[in-house]
Amino acid sequence: MTMTFITAEQINQITKPHQLIDKLQNAFASDIETPLRQHYDIPNPDSSRETTLLMMPSWQVGKDIGVKLVSVVPESYKYKLPSIKGVYVLIDAKTGQVKAMLDAPSLTAKRTAAASALASRFLSDPNSKSLLMIGTGTLSSELIEAHCAVRPIKQVYVWGRNHEKAHQIVKRTAHLSVNVEAVSNLDDAIGKVDIISCATMSITPLIKGSLLKPGQHLDMVGAYRPDMREADDQCLLRSRIVVDNYQGALKETGDLAIPLKNNVIKKEKIEADLFELCREQKHFERNNSDITFFKSVGHALEDLAAAQLIVEKLRESA
């Protein structure tokens, strides 16, 4: 077996949102085993924030083993580099041979966006036609495309602290059959849309719960550390909350860890995770007036499933 390195360009060409969303839904209902990921914050003397090292293993007995090694450097823009860098290793579980190595940032972006779209299948209004994208990083265009794959989105607004970067996202999503425009006033945009997707490294809340309207769905993807927040307390108090996985979401993100610590909400406020929804252990029925809140912290199962799909599609096209 020859080991293949799969580049970001190949991943972007091969991966289709609908296929990956379906793959993740099946994976969350499968027998894939995933221990808690290892998360280390390492001092970075040339930055105001630590460098984060993530090691994320997952395996399917008798089939594949995968592990992702990722570094997160929030201020890497100073070096004109992306904030997330790393590699994914896919190993044959029977023979121990390395089947493929994949570019981790592009793999992560694709699977993260697909997980958000999967959650939207369960939680958002099926007739959602408008989306607000908060954040202008690598994930933004992926999230827009994934949400458009599962809901009849016609209008997308993009907001970021750097308005020029918001315009870049507009250009990057020009191939989609939707109207995408950059906006400068976040508060005004919040009340205009059916779905709000947020992917930032903010340490202070960007979304004010007082501005939310009944029927909205919040897709919270950023704030990956316990000291980061994208949504204020009112967002949580007004919403029905679902997470991708309980184990990580309850302690890794400030969006939940801080209000839980401050007794703003109780653990019982979180109604389900994607494992329970995909395995049909819980059924989520929304009312028209419900505000739904999905918090994603990432799960190694998603990486393994995405890597398996990419390797499969690459071999089909060879």
pLDDT for 229-274, tens place per residue?
A: 999 999 999 999 999 999 888 888 889 999 999 999 999 999 999 9
User: Residue 2: what pLDDT?
Assistant: 63
CA angle 316/143/249 to nearest 5° reads 105
CA–CA dist 50, 40 (Å, integer): 9
In a domain, residue 115? The reply is no
Mean pLDDT within 289-307: 95
Strands 98-103 and 84-92: antiparallel
Whether 215 maps to a domain, the answer reads yes
The pair phi, psi for residue 146, each rounded to 5°, is -65, -45
- Tens-digit pLDDT profile for residues 26-45: 999 999 999 888 888 999 88
Question: Do 131 and 99 share a structural domain?
Answer: no
Residue 183 sits in the same domain as residue 72? no
- Characterize the bridge pairing of strands 51-60 and 38-42: antiparallel
Q: Distances in Å between the alpha carbon of 76 and those of 30, 55, 139, 160, 161?
A: 37, 20, 16, 18, 17
pLDDT of residue 1: 52
- On whether both 156 and 216 belong to a single domain, the answer is yes
Whether residues 98 and 210 share a domain: the answer is no
Of the candidates 306, 219, 297, 301, the one whose C-alpha atom is nearest the C-alpha of residue 20 is 306
DSSP code at position 35: P
* Residue 205: domain span: 125-298
CA distance 176 to 179: 8
Q: Does a structural domain hold residue 146?
A: yes
